[in-house]
Amino acid sequence: MYVTSEVANMVHVIDTGTLQIVKNIAVGKRPRRFAFSADGSELWVTNELGSSVSIISVRDLALVATVPFEVKGMRADDITPVGLALSRDGKTMYVGLGRANHVAFVDVATRKTTQLVLVGKRAWGLALNRDGSRLFVVNGLSDDMTVVDTASARALKTVPVGRVPHTVVVDD
Give dist(CA 31, CA 43) in Å, integer. Answer: 12
Task: Write the single-letter amino acid at 133.
Answer: S
- Strands (E) in the chain, as ranges, are 2-5, 10-15, 20-26, 31-36, 42-47, 52-57, 62-68, 84-86, 92-96, 102-107, 112-118, 123-128, 134-139, 144-149, 154-160
Confidence of residue 125 (pLDDT cuts 50, 70, 90): very high
pLDDT value of position 153: 98
Q: SS in 3 state form for 126-154? A: EEECCCCCEEEEEECCCCEEEEEECCCCE
- Tell me the pTM: 0.96
Residue-range domain boundaries for the chain: 2-160
Domain topology for 2-160: Methylamine Dehydrogenase; Chain H (2.130.10)
Give the phi and the psi of residue 77 in degrees, each rounded to 5: -65, -20
Separation in Å, CA 137 to CA 7, 84, 90, 132, 159: 26, 10, 19, 13, 10
Q: What are the b/e assignments for 48-78, b being 16+ CB within 10 Å? A: bbbbbbbbbebeeeebeeebebebeebeeee
Q: What is the mean pLDDT of residues 128-157?
A: 98
Q: What pLDDT, on the 0 to 100 scale, is given for residue 42? A: 98
Contact 79/88 with Cβ under 8 angstroms? no
pLDDT 10s digits, 28-78:
999 999 999 999 999 999 999 999 999 999 999 999 999 999 999 999 999
pLDDT-derived band of residue 126, with 50, 70 and 90 as boundaries? very high
User: What average pLDDT does the chain have?
Assistant: 97
Q: Where are the alpha helices (DSSP H) in the chain?
A: none
- Per cent of the chain over pLDDT 70 is 100
Mean pLDDT over 113-135 rounds to 97
DSSP class of 98: B
